[in-house]
Amino acid sequence: MCNIYAAIALTGYSMIEAKKAQQASDAMAEQKYRMDMEEIKDNRKSVMLNSLQNGNAYKQQFLERLSTNNLILAQGGKLDTGTGKALTGADQTTKKQDLNAAALKASNDMMGLSYRSYDARLQLAQSKQESKALRNQAYIKAGMTLSMAASGMENPFGNASKGGSIGKTSMLDFRGGTAGTGGFSPNPITGKFNY
C-alpha cells in the first residue's frame, strides 16, 4: 500500500513541478517579448529621428543650392528670367524627390518594425503554447504513472459483489492509525460513515 501513497505523492509533485516549469517558461517568454517590444519601440524612435534629420539635411542642401544659384544668377542679372525660375523649379523638384525618398525609406523601415512586432507576438504565443503542451504532457505522464501504480492496488472498499464487507479494508484506520475495519465502517445507528 505504501507504493500507491508514494505514487500519489510523486504524481502531485510532478504536476506541481510541471506547472512551475510552465510558469517559468511563460515568464521568460513574456520577458523576451517585452525586451523585443522595447527594442522595436527604440528602433521606431530612431527611424523617426533619422527621417527628420534626413529631411532637415535635404532642406538645408536645397536652401544652400538656392542661395548659390540666386547669387550666381543675380551677378549675371538673370535672377528674374526663365533660367532662374527653371533652376529654382529644378531645385524644388529635387528637394521634393529627396524628401519623398526619405519618407518612403522611413515608411519601409516602420513597416519592417511592424512585422517584427507581429513576429514577436507570434513567438510569444507559440512559446506559451509549447510550454502548455509540455505541462499537459507531464500531467499525462504523471497520471499514467499513478494509474500503473494503482492497477496493482487492492480495492479499498473490499469486494461487495463477492460477499466482502465495505468495512474490511487494507487501508489505515484514520481514527486509530492501524490497519483494520474501523476506517470506513458505517455507524450502525445513523448509517453514516465514521472517519
Tell me which DSSP letter residue 187 carries: P
Mean pLDDT, residues 39-62: 89
Which residue would you say has higher pLDDT here, 183 or 96? Answer: 96
39 and 120: one domain? yes
92 and 131: one domain? yes
72 and 115: one domain? yes
Whose CA is closest to 184, among 163, 156, 153, 164? 156
Q: What is the domain extent for residue 38?
A: 2-153
Helix (H, G, I), strand (E, B) or coil at 1: coil
The 10s digit of each residue's pLDDT in 36-49 is 999 999 999 999 89
The 10s digit of each residue's pLDDT in 77-129 is 766 667 667 777 777 888 888 888 888 888 899 999 899 999 999 999 999 99
Mean pLDDT, residues 59-67: 84
109 and 189: one domain? no
Is pLDDT above 50 for 170?
A: no
143 and 169: one domain? no
Provide the pLDDT for residue 160.
44
Please tell me whether the overall predicted TM-score, pTM, comes out greater than 0.75 for this model: no
19 and 73: one domain? yes
Question: How long, in residues, is the chain?
Answer: 195
92 and 185: one domain? no
Which residue would you say has higher pLDDT here, 96 or 156? Answer: 96
Least confident of 55-64, 122-131, 145-154: 145-154
Q: What is the 3-state secondary structure (H, E, C) of 104-172?
A: HHHHHHHHHHHHHHHHHHHHHHHHHHHHHHHHHHHHHHHHHHHHHHHHCCCCCCCCHHHCCCCCCCCCE
Which residue would you say has higher pLDDT here, 13 or 150? Answer: 13
Least confident of 21-35, 90-104, 127-141: 90-104
Provide the pLDDT for residue 178.
39
Which residue would you say has higher pLDDT here, 179 or 11? Answer: 11
Provide the pLDDT for residue 100.
87
Contact yes or no for 148/163 (Cβ under 8 A): no
Domain tally for the chain? 2
148 and 171: one domain? no
179 and 194: one domain? yes
Alpha-carbon distance of 44 to 106, in angstroms, equals 9
